[in-house]
Amino acid sequence: MDGAGPLLAADPVGDGAHASGMPSEAQVRAAVTGFSMLAEPTRLRLLWLVSAEELDVSTLAARIASSVPVVSAHLAKLRLAGLVETRKAGRHVLYRARDTHVRKLIAEALFHADHQVDGLPDHE
């Protein structure tokens, strides 16, 4: 972030938000980058899986019926975008969603899609 602070919704007294209550340019760019990563089906499936548990690239490839090189390339993009992080476990590199924000974003996006696909009513 550019030091502008949290968004107005998370900062009700407004001491960290812009006077307009709008997100900063840096916040918008970061969000757009994150959302653009979610706009690809393989990456969305990978994020869903690593939101639930730490997994290595071979396990992820097997679970989504893809090749290791393809999954590895997608994971590299997700890592550069700050959506996943890694941890070494012996000879394996384990991937997981970076934080609670990412896990909630993926869950909400897919729960919203579930409502659209199944025609479920909206709720507040």
Spell out a b/e string for 58-75, using b for 16 or more CB atoms within 10 Å of the CB, else e.
ebbbeebebeeeebbebb
Q: How far is CA 21 from CA 6, 24, 33, 114, in A?
A: 10, 9, 21, 31
Range 3-30 average pLDDT:
65
The pTM score is 0.78
Structure-block tokens of residue 108: 């909400």
User: 83-124: per-residue pLDDT in tens?
Assistant: 999 999 999 999 999 999 999 999 999 888 888 898 888 777
The pLDDT of residue 2 is 41
Map out the domains of the chain with their CATH numbers: 1-39 (no CATH), 41-124 (1.10.10.10)
Q: Which residue has the tokens 């949290």?
A: 6
